[in-house]
């Protein structure tokens, strides 16, 4: 199956059904249980987005190949697709086939806002766009190796995420790296003491 | 409502602004004089709603804002507060007494060193403020612009032209809370040679500043984020020392309606029956505040509670949907950072009992939040 296969209308095979409950490994070496594999009204949908999401996200590049196991002629839309494929450009909206965007690796900067048992809340800012839009989201703490120090509000981390297709199933390969700004040095301590002394002198003159 | 209509000189106004994370309270004490309590930033414009509101009404920021107060050092209460102070050129800055001691100053400087190369922390606002008040003192020939707030200390004491009094008094932190805070801060030193640099992570809610405001015949209680205890601190500390002869008719509900800041005796002993209650939500964490139980509890205590925005995250924009798609099942409950800034404005004329409340979207009655959450 091509990585850009449009959703199939055929019933799921027995082997596909097995994949539904089997954990699979992503490229970062993490074990990710596949939760994307959905079956609705005997229609196998094997992409990460639900329909509403897919409609809201206009594809940068769209699917042009169909599942080899699902001949176009057998599809209710088969003749339309065949006709469309003859044209130099395919109008996927006119055909009505489901598509998804191809997106490369996404880079993010995150700041932890709250840690609550096995979940932490973070604000994420994309490093790939100029608008610096920030979103809030939760992660399981196991995705971030905190080291000896643990995770605390205010900690910064870098994250990369990329959609990856493994045996036809789309999952997210990711890497999260907590940002450690090094250790305190004797010079740091001296600088702090010096600035604290100066600031206290200043405060004496300013507090009413 | 018109947001550009100045209140009359005999009208007391309390406005609260909040975008979902952060709050700012603006009080017109009367006679054209204002105070700003805490600060938040509009995530869409990066503007400071309280300043924009005053500017829109034509208030002279240079002359008519008497005080900018930071109730405590949490970034949802002090975002942009140094900018707000810089606009209000004759205002003094007030903060918890615990935040002017050597212990906190040391933390400030450690934090400065720790954040080098990192994103600025909330404490950078305090460093900027200290620089502003120092510059202001030098320009004003030695006049001081920094006040420590501690229990029973009047921060503003004015007599209006008609002879009526205006007094703004801090009810907290208690002396015991200050002592406790200094002990915590002294032990919180983060700069230890050879140890990893990390920003300071204290919880300053328990020594935040609660205000009791009396102007004309109005009494207002601004609850900051003060939590209930421990003994001798928080609301327990206030209730053990403070017994007013008259009660407040308007209440800024503390800590976004969270139960750890809700003391029943505050409602019984310090507030009138059915007071106007104002609050701002906090939707930055995993459990947004107020939650359904908080809404029920506050609604049972007053029928006149208003909130600046819904604590429930707004519907995701296309950008957020795209980000959610990029992150797949790695991210749980991805949502907008926070929504638009709502405003609840309460005004009351001297001699009249009632407060007239106006709402600027997405502000709404707390009761409506309750209904919508239950329907979901």
Give the ipTM.
0.77
Q: Is the pLDDT of residue A10 over 60?
A: no
Residue range B125-145: average pLDDT?
93
Supply B67's token pair: 């005080």
The most confident of the ranges A86-90, A95-99, A135-139, B63-67 is: B63-67
Q: In terms of DSSP bridges, do strands A106-116 and A156-166 run parallel, antiparallel, or are they unpaired?
A: antiparallel
Q: How far apart are CA A31 and CA A91, in angstroms?
A: 38
Compute the nearest-CA separation of B121 from chain A (Å): 8
Which percentage of chain B shows pLDDT scores above 90? 61
Of A34-43, B51-60, B181-190, the range with the lowest mean pLDDT is: A34-43
Q: Out of B191, B195, B330, name the one closest to residue A161 (CB).
A: B330
Contacts of A179 in chain B (CB under 8 A): 118
Q: Is the pLDDT of residue B213 over 50?
A: yes
DSSP state of B282: B
Instruction: Give the rounded distance of the alpha carbon of B266 from its chain centre.
Output: 18
Q: Any chain A CB within 8 A of the CB of B192?
A: yes
Please report where in the chains the tokens 């839009």 appear, as a residue. A133
Pick the residue of A106, A113, A208 with the most B CBs within 10 A to test the interface with B by mutation. A208
Q: How confident is the model at residue A90 (pLDDT cuts 50, 70, 90)?
A: low
How many degrees, rounded to 5, is the angle at CA B105 between CA B100 and CA B109? 155
Q: Under an 8 A CB cutoff, do B144 and A188 touch?
A: no
Q: Under an 8 A CB cutoff, do A189 and B334 touch?
A: no
Domain ranges of chain B: 11-375
Q: Out of B105, B117, B323, name the one closest to residue A199 (CB).
A: B105
Q: Out of B112, B137, B325, name the one closest to residue A48 (CB).
A: B325
Pick the residue of A154, A186, A198 with the most B CBs within 10 A to test the interface with B by mutation. A154
Contact B356, B348 (CB under 8 A): yes
Contacts of A124 in chain B (CB under 8 A): 323, 331, 334
Residue range B255-281: average pLDDT?
96
pLDDT at B66: 97
Q: Is the pLDDT of residue A53 over 60?
A: no
Q: How far apart are CA B91 and CA B65, in angstroms?
A: 6
Pick the residue of B331, B333, B339 with the most A CBs within 10 A to test the interface with A by mutation. B331
Contacts of B332 in chain A (CB under 8 A): 119, 137-140
Q: Under an 8 A CB cutoff, do B195 and A183 touch?
A: yes
Q: Is the pLDDT of residue A32 over 70?
A: no
Q: How confident is the model at residue B14 (pLDDT cuts 50, 70, 90)?
A: very high
Q: How confident is the model at residue A21 (pLDDT cuts 50, 70, 90)?
A: very low
**A132 backbone φψ class: left, alpha, beta (φ>0; ψ -120 to 50):** left
pLDDT at A57: 38
Contacts of A172 in chain B (CB under 8 A): 326-330
Any idea which architecture B11-375 has in CATH? 4-Layer Sandwich (3.60)
Q: Out of B112, B326, B328, name the one closest to residue A171 (CB).
A: B328
**B284 backbone φψ class: left, alpha, beta (φ>0; ψ -120 to 50):** alpha
The most confident of the ranges A184-188, B205-209, B324-328, B356-360 is: B356-360
pLDDT single digits (tens) B304-320: 999 999 887 777 788 88
How many Cα atoms are found within 13 Å in the side-chain-facing hemisphere of B190?
A: 21
Nearest partner of A135 among B120, B334, B22, judged by Cα: B334
Q: Out of A53, A124, A138, name the one closest to residue B332 (CB).
A: A138
Residue range B288-315: average pLDDT?
90
Nearest partner of B252 among B6, B79, B37, judged by Cα: B37
Count interface pairs A-B at CB distance under 8 A.
181
Pick the residue of A135, A142, A150 with the most B CBs within 10 A to test the interface with B by mutation. A135
Element spanning A127, H or E: none
| Helix ranges, chain B (H) | 49-56, 61-64, 75-78, 81-87, 102-114, 123-139, 175-187, 234-241, 264-265, 292-301, 318-327, 366-375
Residue range B109-134: average pLDDT?
77
Residue of A nearest to B203 (CA): A153
Compute the nearest-CA separation of B194 from chain A (Å): 5
pLDDT single digits (tens) B48-101: 999 999 999 999 999 999 999 999 988 889 999 999 999 999 999 999 988 888
Q: Out of B114, B283, B323, name the one closest to residue A126 (CB).
A: B323
Residue of B nearest to A26 (CA): B330
pLDDT at A3: 35
Nearest partner of B224 among B102, B375, B77, B4, judged by Cα: B77
The most confident of the ranges A189-203, B133-147, B189-203 is: B133-147
Mean of the per-residue pLDDT values of chain B? 88
Compute the nearest-CA separation of A29 from chain B (Å): 14
pTM score: 0.77
Pick the residue of A184, A189, A205, A207 with the most B CBs within 10 A to test the interface with B by mutation. A184
Long-range pairs, B180-185, Cβ under 8 A, ≥24: B180/B206, B180/B207, B180/B230, B180/B233, B181/B96, B181/B98, B181/B206, B181/B207, B182/B98, B182/B101, B182/B103, B185/B98, B185/B101, B185/B103, B185/B104, B185/B106, B185/B107
Supply A115's token pair: 């840690």
Q: Out of B106, B113, B330, name the one closest to residue A172 (CB).
A: B330
pLDDT at B316: 78
CA distances from B269 to A200, B146, B235, B245, B277 (A): 40, 32, 12, 10, 15
Residues 327-356 on B with a CB inside 8 Å of A are: 327-338
Q: How far apart are CA A68 and CA A72, in angstroms?
A: 9
Q: Under an 8 A CB cutoff, do A119 and B332 touch?
A: yes
């Amino acid at each position: 199956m091509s990585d850009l296969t449009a959703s199939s209308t055929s019933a799921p095979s027995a082997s596909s059904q097995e994949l539904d409950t089997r954990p699979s490994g992503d490229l970062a070496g993490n074990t990710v249980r596949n939760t994307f594999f959905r079956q609705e009204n005997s229609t196998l949908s094997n992409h990460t987005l639900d329909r509403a999401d897919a409609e809201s996200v206009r594809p940068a590049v769209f699917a042009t190949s169909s599942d080899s196991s699902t001949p176009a002629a057998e599809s209710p839309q088969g003749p339309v697709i065949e006709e469309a494929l003859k044209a130099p450009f395919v109008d996927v909206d006119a055909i009505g086939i489901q598509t998804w965007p191809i997106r490369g690796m996404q880079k993010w900067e995150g700041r932890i806002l709250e840690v609550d048992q096995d979940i932490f809340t973070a604000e994420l800012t994309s490093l790939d766009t100029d608008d610096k839009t920030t979103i809030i989201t939760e992660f399981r703490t196991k995705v971030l190796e905190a080291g000896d120090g643990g995770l605390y509000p205010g900690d910064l981390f870098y994250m990369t995420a990329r959609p990856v297709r493994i045996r036809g199933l789309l999952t997210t390969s990711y890497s999260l790296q907590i940002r450690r700004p090094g250790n305190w040095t004797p010079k740091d301590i001296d600088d702090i003491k010096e600035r604290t002394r100066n600031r206290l002198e200043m405060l004496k003159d300013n507090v009413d | 409502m018109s947001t550009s209509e100045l209140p009359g000189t005999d009208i007391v106004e309390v406005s609260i602004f909040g975008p979902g994370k952060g709050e700012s309270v603006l009080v017109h004490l009367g006679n054209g004089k204002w105070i700003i309590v805490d600060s938040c930033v509009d995530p869409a414009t990066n503007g400071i709603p309280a300043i924009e509101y005053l500017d829109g009404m034509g208030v002279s920021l240079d002359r008519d804002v008497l005080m900018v107060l930071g109730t405590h050092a949490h970034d949802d209460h002090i975002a942009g507060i140094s900018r707000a102070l810089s606009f209000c050129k004759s205002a003094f800055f007030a903060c918890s007494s615990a935040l002017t001691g050597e212990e906190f100053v040391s933390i400030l400087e450690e934090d400065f060193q720790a954040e080098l190369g990192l994103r600025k922390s909330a404490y950078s606002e305090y460093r900027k403020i200290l620089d502003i008040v120092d510059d202001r003192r030098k320009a004003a020939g030695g006049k001081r612009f920094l006040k420590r707030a501690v229990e029973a200390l009047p921060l503003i004491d004015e007599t209006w032209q008609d002879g009526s009094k205006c007094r703004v008094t801090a009810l907290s932190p208690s002396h015991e809370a200050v002592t406790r805070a200094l002990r915590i801060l002294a032990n919180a030193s983060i700069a230890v040679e050879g140890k990893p640099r990390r920003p300071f992570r204290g919880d300053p809610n328990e020594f935040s500043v609660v205000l009791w405001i009396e102007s004309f015949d109005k009494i207002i209680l601004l609850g900051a984020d003060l939590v209930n205890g421990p003994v001798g601190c928080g609301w327990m500390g206030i209730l053990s020392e403070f017994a007013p002869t008259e009660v407040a008719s308007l209440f800024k509900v503390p800590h976004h309606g969270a139960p750890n800041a809700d003391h029943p005796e505050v409602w019984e002993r310090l507030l009138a029956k059915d007071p106007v209650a104002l609050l701002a939500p906090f939707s930055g964490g995993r459990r947004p505040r107020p939650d359904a139980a908080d809404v029920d509890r506050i609604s049972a205590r007053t029928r006149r509670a208003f909130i600046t925005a819904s604590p429930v995250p707004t519907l995701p924009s296309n950008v957020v949907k795209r980000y959610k798609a990029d992150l797949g099942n790695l991210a749980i409950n991805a949502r907008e950072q926070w929504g638009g800034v709502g405003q609840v404005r309460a005004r009351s004329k001297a001699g009249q009992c009632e407060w007239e409340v106006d709402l600027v979207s997405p502000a709404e009655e707390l009761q409506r939040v309750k209904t919508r959450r239950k329907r979901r």
